[in-house]
């Protein structure tokens, strides 16, 4: 599945929403793996971009939101920006 193609839909979010709902409904171990292997690294990368001021008006809000989420993760799990982070797979 091509995430860029799903995202580039002239303002429509229906495909991305279906993807999000489908991923959330998968086997719980797969949800854990997807969150730890894709969602969290994506959030952390946009947070790094915000901290380094590598954004512009087109993605500033996304970077700011990810920084806030990342700060909450860092506080909750006692990790720093460069620390390894993974959810356990049971």
pLDDT digits 0-9 by tens, 8-47: 888 788 999 999 999 999 999 999 999 999 999 999 999 9
Within 8 A by CB and 6+ apart from 37, the residues are: 86
pLDDT reported for residue 67? 98
For residue 59, how many C-alpha atoms fall within 13 Å in the half-sphere facing its CB?
13
Q: What token pair was written down for 63?
A: 């970077």
pTM of the complete model:
0.89
Phi, psi angle pair for 88, to nearest 5°: -70, 145
Q: Higher pLDDT residue, 15 or 53?
A: 53
């Amino acid at each position: 599945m091509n995430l860029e193609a799903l995202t580039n839909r002239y303002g429509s979010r229906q495909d991305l929403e279906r993807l999000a709902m489908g991923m959330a409904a998968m086997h719980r171990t797969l949800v854990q793996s997807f969150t730890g292997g894709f969602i969290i690294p994506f959030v952390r990368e946009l947070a790094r971009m915000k901290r380094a001021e590598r954004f512009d008006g087109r993605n500033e809000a996304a970077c700011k939101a990810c920084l806030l989420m990342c700060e909450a993760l860092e506080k909750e799990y006692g990790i720093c920006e460069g620390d390894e982070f993974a959810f356990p797979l049971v």
